[in-house]
């Protein structure tokens, strides 16, 4: 059975403004590695298991050409441009239609990954992915990866399992896959603390594994509009009918695959991650994924830091273009680009998107 990876890379990354913009979102930035974009890191991580010619990148029409130019190792036809802005369920229906166009009714094993994760042990990651795909290939199962909590995180969704997790040991295998009891929404701090120590809860990584025929059956049962759209999308792709593709795709619901399918299906399983993982969702993630100085600061672009602690400073333009200095402050995020500056309390990074919304509302959308 053929294995494909689908890397979702269509988000705008608003919480990383001003570095992340609509035409150059966070997945095209070197946030966690000075030499490679986040999307490039995602391709490198999976490549020894699934080669670039079997990697599909799902993005939007604005980003499709920049991605094709920036990633010559990916065949141009493997960069899928969504014709309208929808959520992950529609995105994955479109990816499935592309695979149906190539392979007909023959099932294909699909690994759904994202372009905004930091994973510290790529080999363990590939072993986990291989175990999840092996289980999905042999069972009519929708499989996800769950991450053992290391802190009471309120920004992640959680996966609850029936049996208490044993300590991680050895390489993961399909035998480690277990049924999901239920998904839990992002909790308040008190609940997150309970989840972190319960031994029954995992962070929802947003990575999924299934056969295309299993996914299609899930659509038929729980998201019938997507099931009806699949052959229409496939025909439009085969005939290069962009208007037909747009008409069908834009009529689909704006629903995530988590809410539309994973939280409703009975055949959902999870494999605990055996690797360190971070969802690089906002500026504070850099303190977990980049090296800190002795005062706890993370600095990019050679800023001057005097008697300042636990700050995240990102000077994209560099000191030759913008001189950036912090004196006597702590717990701040300061991010500067050639045309914009963000100053934010470190515990308010989730609210950066509110600033982006206000810039657009007041007619300054060219800065977003």
Please choose, from the candidates 81, 48, 99, 74, the residue with its C-alpha nearest in 3D space to the C-alpha of residue 210: 99
Q: What is the pLDDT of residue 99?
A: 97
CA separation for the pair 216, 294 (Å, rounded): 52
Q: What is the mean pLDDT of residues 342-356?
A: 94
Q: What is the pLDDT of residue 364?
A: 79
Q: What is the pLDDT of residue 22?
A: 81
Residue 164 makes CB contacts below 8 A (sequence gap 6+) with 198, 199, 200
**C-beta of residue 294 within 8 angstroms of C-beta of residue 302:** no
pLDDT at 225 over 90: yes
For residue 70, report the phi and psi dihedrals to the nearest 5 degrees: -80, -15
CA separation for the pair 87, 37 (Å, rounded): 23
Give me the DSSP letters along 309-328.
BS-EEEESS-TTT---EEES
**C-beta of residue 55 within 8 angstroms of C-beta of residue 7:** yes
Percent of the chain with pLDDT over 70: 99
pLDDT at 90 over 70: yes
Confidence band, pLDDT 50/70/90 cuts, at residue 6: very high
Q: What is the pLDDT of residue 169?
A: 66
Tokens of 215: 């996914």
**C-beta of residue 93 within 8 angstroms of C-beta of residue 226:** yes
Tokens of 180: 């999901």
Our CA dihedral for 58, 61, 66, 67, rounded to 10 degrees, sits at: 10
Instruction: Walk me through the domains of the chain, giving residue ranges and CATH numbers.
Output: 3-279 (3.90.550.10), 283-367 (no CATH)
Q: Per mean pLDDT, which range of 157-171, 174-188, 276-290, 318-332 is the poorest?
A: 157-171
CA separation for the pair 150, 368 (Å, rounded): 33
pLDDT at 186 over 70: yes
Q: What is the mean pLDDT of the chain?
A: 92
Q: Within 10 Å of residue 73's Cβ, how many Cβ atoms?
A: 12
CA separation for the pair 45, 42 (Å, rounded): 5
In the three-class reduction of DSSP (H, G, I as helix; E, B as strand; rest coil), residue 299 is classed as strand
Q: What is the pLDDT of residue 122?
A: 92
């Amino acid at each position: 059975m053929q294995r494909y990876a689908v890397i979702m890379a269509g988000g705008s990354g608003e919480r990383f403004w001003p570095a992340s913009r609509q035409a150059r979102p966070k997945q095209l930035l070197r946030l966690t590695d000075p030499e490679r974009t986040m999307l490039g890191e995602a391709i490198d991580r999976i490549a020894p298991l699934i080669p670039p010619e079997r990697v599909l990148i799902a993005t939007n029409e604005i980003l499709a050409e920049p991605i094709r130019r920036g990633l010559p190792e990916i065949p141009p036809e493997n960069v899928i441009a969504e014709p309208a802005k929808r959520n992950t369920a529609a995105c994955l229906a479109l990816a499935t239609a592309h695979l149906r166009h190539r392979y007909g009714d023959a099932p294909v094993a699909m690994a759904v990954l994202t372009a905004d994760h930091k994973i510290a042990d790529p080999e363990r990651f590939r072993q986990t992915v291989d175990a999840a795909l092996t289980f999905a290939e042999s069972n009519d199962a929708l499989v996800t990866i769950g991450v053992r909590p290391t802190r009471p995180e309120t920004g992640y969704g959680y996966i609850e399992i029936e049996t208490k997790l044993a300590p991680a040991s050895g390489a993961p295998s399909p035998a480690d896959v277990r049924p999901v009891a239920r998904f839990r929404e992002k909790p308040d701090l008190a609940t997150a603390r309970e989840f972190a120590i319960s031994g029954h809860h995992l962070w929802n990584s947003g990575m999924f594994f299934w056969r295309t025929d299993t996914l299609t059956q899930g659509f038929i049962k729980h998201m019938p509009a997507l099931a009806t759209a699949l052959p229409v999308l496939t025909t439009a792709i085969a005939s290069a009918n962009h208007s037909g593709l747009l008409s069908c795709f834009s009529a689909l619901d704006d629903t995530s695959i988590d809410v539309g399918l994973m939280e409703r299906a009975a055949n959902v399983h999870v494999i605990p991650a055996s690797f360190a993982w971070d969802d690089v969702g906002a500026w504070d993630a850099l303190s977990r994924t980049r090296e800190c100085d002795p005062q706890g600061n993370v600095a990019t672009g050679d800023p001057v830091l005097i008697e300042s602690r636990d700050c995240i400073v990102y000077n994209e333009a560099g000191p030759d273009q913008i001189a950036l200095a912090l004196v006597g402050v702590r717990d701040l995020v300061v991010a500067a680009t050639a045309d914009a500056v963000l100053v934010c309390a470190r515990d308010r990074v989730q609210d950066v998107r509110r600033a982006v919304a206000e810039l657009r509302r007041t007619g300054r959308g060219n800065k977003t």
